[in-house]
Amino acid sequence: MSEKFDVIVIGAGPAGYVAAIRCAQLGFNTACVDKWEDKDGKPSLGGTCLNVGCIPSKALLDSSEKVEQAEHEFEAHGISVGNVNVDVPKMIARKNDIVGNLTKGIAGLFKANKVTAIHGHGKLLKGKQVEVTSKEGTATYSADNIILACGSEPINIPVAPVDNNLIVDNAGALDIDDVPKRLGVIGAGVIGLELGSVWNRLGSEVTILEAMDAFLAPVDKQLSREAERTFVKGQGLDIKLGALVTGSKTAKKSVKVTYTFKGEEHTETFDKLIVAVGRKANTKDIAAEDVGLVIDERGRIDVDNQLRTNIAGVYAIGDAVKGPMLAHKGSEEGVAVAEIIAGQQPHVNHDTVPWVIYTHPEIAWVGINEEQAKEQGLNYKTGFFPFAANGRSLAMNEKGGRVKMIADADTDRVLGVHILGPNASELISEAVLAMEYSASTEDIARTIHAHPTLSEALHEAALSVDGRALHKVN
Ligand code: FAD
Ligand code: NAD
């Protein structure tokens, strides 16, 4: 007889571990199967996000931002620090400590919530059984409900095969222990810009080769144009749009990349090359063939709006299913599925999932942008406010960026908020909350914002929708 649980979750990333904790809170006897191992071969919970994603990348972004400030920004405050020395191995060790603390923290949360952690590769079998394979062998468990949260993995391109030595993926890019003089990045998406920024701040000459002609296509054009100017002119990132990589050749210590740009063949030699061209659902061997689990045309587990797969009692969440590949989206789906299993009626509002790109300045948005409002033929109005007119921003010596708000012209309901500026990642929460409550720009305009704060830029952008911003000419 196989051990029986009420719920088995496969995958302990931010989607799976949160689902497991919520299931346990709701009184279900829950197990969570995960196969991630750290460099010493020990189980490490938290998935991509904690091990090689959100957290380690932000740790390095923060460290490198401090270097940037010491080298270029302190002076404006009247502070001189002389030569700034960077100990990259120490920086990486700090990042690893944070990862270690947080992944152990999940193990602690599992223990406290009585979630059984099972290490190994989980595979869905017929009859709601899960086969787990590890170094110890194979065991089979069963459950009334199963949640698949197997996440995603980097996309590889044959023209630049990752060896995690000279050509690295996002995981390898977080473990470079010496500043490469010349760093190439393929893909000017979220990872390319965040990790490109890290190494640029630490002294690499960074060239980013992006296949598309548009820069940051999902971002509102007014903001993406200003961001591009800042990254290229202000920070020295060499971003080549419309660059098609045709091949790469590694030597002992360098990699030669050939690409087509503006109709001509180019060759550049880098000391490291980061491949960041997107991620794909990681559904390899997640279910036995005879289970008949339906995978959609993009390789993701097919789910309905209640995150149910085609197999009764089997759900899927996070990066493995449709929607943006973001940790908080997966976590929210994890909570929702646990509550659905408990017979509750939760709702994940996919229209209010915030996005953040942790460059400097940060870029954050929620809802639709102006181009989408146009495409959808909406009757809309916009307002904006520049951080250059915000007292707190100037006190911080932050002069660029803006808040842009898009609202329905008839009802005044907020349709989208876009922020390029300091602490955009924190500021966006107000906009998410406003949209979650179906607020109008008038609601935001009539809400008292503390002075002096960056949030006043949101207040002013809301006022500006109605042509009555107070600290700029409308
Ligand atoms: P994952 O985190 O991928 O976790 C899936 C887990 O399941 C893994 O542990 C995997 O080993 C395990 N698994 C898979 N198959 C099996 C199996 N068959 N049996 C057992 N275990 C299995 N998102 C943000 O919101 N904010 C950010 O700042 C951010 N930064 C990022 C930076 C980088 C460099 C990267 C790569 C990603 C970043 N992301 C960020 C995206 C975020 O990491 C993902 O959206 C998130 O981790 C997805 O969560 P998940 O639980 O669906 O999957
Ligand atoms: P991405 O989709 O953000 O960007 C990939 C970029 O690579 C795109 O601009 C694409 O046009 C380009 N590209 C694709 N193929 C190419 C090729 N052959 N040559 C040159 N360019 C090519 O993907 P990513 O940066 O790899 O990140 C993956 C996902 O991880 C993100 O979409 C996001 O969901 C998540 N993530 C989120 C955060 C965050 O929330 N701050 C940070 C990192 C990653």
CATH of the domain at 177: 3.50.50.60
Tell me which of 351, 382, 404 is where a domain ends: 351
Asked if the model's pLDDT at residue 345 lies above 80, the reply is yes
**CA-based nearest residue to 348, from 253, 432, 230:** 432
User: Is 386 within 8 Å of 399 (Cβ atoms)?
Assistant: no
Q: How far is CA 453 from CA 180, 333, 364, 417, in A?
A: 38, 33, 17, 18
**Is there a single domain that holds both residue 38 and residue 66?**
yes
**Helix (H) and strand (E) counts in the chain:** 13, 22
Within 6 Å (CB) of ligand 2, which residues are found? 157, 186-192, 194, 209-212, 245, 276-279, 324-326, 356-358
CA distance 138 to 240: 49
> What's the confidence (pLDDT) of residue 205?
98
Write the pLDDT tens digit of every residue in 59-118: 999 999 999 999 999 999 999 999 999 999 999 999 999 999 999 999 999 999 999 999
**Is there a single domain that holds both residue 7 and residue 136?**
yes
Q: How far is CA 70 from CA 79, 209, 358, 393, 395, in A?
A: 9, 29, 19, 18, 17
Residue nearest to atom 9 of ligand 1 (CA): 47
Tell me, in angstroms, the distance from the centre of ligand 2 to residue 318's CA: 17
Instruction: Report the residue among 258, 277, 329 best suited for mutation to probe ligand 2: largest number of ligand atoms under 8 A from its CB.
Output: 277
Q: Which ligand is nearest to the CA of 14?
A: 1
- Indicate the average pLDDT of the chain: 97
Tell me, in angstroms, the distance from the centre of ligand 2 to residue 210's CA: 10
Percentage, residues of the chain above pLDDT 90: 99
Is 270 in a helix, a strand, or coil?
Answer: strand
User: Peptide bond preceding 43: is omega within 30 degrees of 0, i.e. cis?
Assistant: no
> What's the confidence (pLDDT) of residue 464?
98
Asked if the model's pLDDT at residue 2 lies above 90, the reply is no
Q: Which atom of ligand 1 has the smallest separation from the CA of 36? A: 11
Flag whether 356 is in a domain. no
Flag whether 472 is in a domain. no
Tell me, in angstroms, the distance from the centre of ligand 2 to residue 187's CA: 6
What's the pLDDT band for 453 if we cut at 50, 70, 90?
Answer: very high
Write the pLDDT tens digit of every residue in 225-274: 999 999 999 999 999 999 999 999 999 999 999 999 999 999 999 999 99
Asked if the model's pLDDT at residue 1 lies above 80, the reply is no
What's the pLDDT band for 215 if we cut at 50, 70, 90?
Answer: very high
Q: How far is CA 445 from CA 268, 361, 441, 458, 466, in A?
A: 51, 25, 6, 9, 9
> What's the confidence (pLDDT) of residue 171?
93
**Is there a single domain that holds both residue 10 and residue 144?**
yes
Tell me, in angstroms, the distance from the centre of ligand 2 to residue 369's CA: 19
Instruction: Report the residue among 21, 33, 38, 49 best suited for mutation to probe ligand 1: largest number of ligand atoms under 8 A from its CB.
Output: 49
**Is there a single domain that holds both residue 142 and residue 23?**
yes
**Is there a single domain that holds both residue 287 and residue 149?**
yes
Q: Which ligand is nearest to the CA of 157?
A: 2
CA distance 68 to 227: 18
Flag whether 195 is in a domain. yes
Instruction: Report the residue among 49, 57, 191 best suited for mutation to probe ligand 2: largest number of ligand atoms under 8 A from its CB.
Output: 191
> What's the confidence (pLDDT) of residue 474?
83
Tell me which of 277, 297, 324 is where a domain ends: 277
Flag whether 294 is in a domain. yes
Whose structure tokens read 């949101």? 458
Q: Which atom of ligand 1 has the smallest separation from the CA of 319? A: 52
**Is there a single domain that holds both residue 176 and residue 254?**
yes
CA distance 253 to 272: 8
Tell me which of 277, 300, 319 is where a domain ends: 277
Q: Which atom of ligand 2 has the smallest separation from the CA of 245? A: 19
Task: Show the 3-state SS of 58-89.
Answer: HHHHHHHHHHHHHHHHHHHHCCCCCCCCCCHH
Residue nearest to atom 21 of ligand 1 (CA): 34
**Is there a single domain that holds both residue 116 and residue 29?**
yes
Q: Which atom of ligand 2 has the smallest separation from the CA of 277? A: 7
**Is there a single domain that holds both residue 285 and residue 327?**
yes
Flag whether 441 is in a domain. yes
Q: Which ligand is nearest to the CA of 209?
A: 2
As a whole number, mean pLDDT of residues 143-168 equals 97
The CATH number assigned to the domain holding 419 equals 3.30.390.30
Q: Which ligand is nearest to the CA of 153?
A: 1
**Is there a single domain that holds both residue 259 and residue 337?**
no
Residue nearest to atom 9 of ligand 2 (CA): 189
451 is catalytic: yes
**Is there a single domain that holds both residue 320 and residue 339?**
yes
What's the pLDDT band for 423 if we cut at 50, 70, 90?
Answer: very high
Q: Which domain holds residue 376?
A: 361-465
266, 451, 459, 471: the catalytic one is 451
Asked if the model's pLDDT at residue 164 lies above 80, the reply is yes
Flag whether 160 is in a domain. no
As a whole number, mean pLDDT of residues 405-429 equals 98
DSSP state of 230: I
Flag whether 474 is in a domain. no
Within 6 Å (CB) of ligand 1, which residues are found? 10-16, 33-36, 47-49, 53-54, 57, 121-122, 149-152, 170, 191, 282, 286, 318-320, 325-328, 330
> What's the confidence (pLDDT) of residue 235?
96
Domains identified in the chain, total number: 3
Q: Which atom of ligand 1 has the smallest separation from the CA of 45? A: 9
**Is there a single domain that holds both residue 271 and residue 285?**
no
Instruction: Give residue 235's identity as a one-letter amino acid code.
Output: Q
